[in-house]
Structure 1
């Protein structure tokens, strides 16, 4: 009769080596992503600050010139209404 080959699959040592390699790769990916996420957070914070400053400047302009601001807002609203009505 033919001899049967015993194929038991990977050994425990091989599996542990693969797990360690995967953990190392995951740690490297986390280390690479960390600076990118910090840059994104810093950029998002800078954009939020600039938007806040822009809104404050707009509020100052509206307070300084209320009638022209109201007329401008009315005109923009009228144009948007005409565009939507079509």
Structure 2
């Protein structure tokens, strides 16, 4: 019984086939994502705008914002204590 060892040096054709398979897998993975890179950047920008709007509201109404934060913290604390 002679076990043949696989050739340690793959041929150019084998490497090209593997590269093509990897490209195909990458394209399939891109198609499965719910949004693309451009969409992710747009989501990030909208998130930053939303956080800026929240900061403006807090700056414009500091006392009600502090009371609201205290109330939410109190409720969350009570829920977690149970």
> Structures share a fold, TM > 0.5?
yes
**1:73 — aligned with what?**
69
**2:38 — aligned with what?**
42
Please give the alpha-carbon distance, in whole angstroms, between the structure 1 residues aligned to 2:26 and 2:69.
49
Question: Does residue 58 of structure 1 match 2:54?
Answer: yes
Structure 1 unaligned spans of 5+: 1-14
Structure 2 unaligned spans of 5+: 1-9
TM-score (norm 1): 0.63
SS of aligned partner of 1:53: helix
TM-score (norm 2): 0.65
| Matched positions, count | 72
Deviation of the 1:58 alpha carbon:
0.1
Whose helix fraction is larger, Structure 1's or Structure 2's? Answer: 1
RMSD: 3.1
**1:25 — aligned with what?**
20
Please give the alpha-carbon distance, in whole angstroms, between the structure 1 residues aligned to 2:27 and 2:54.
40
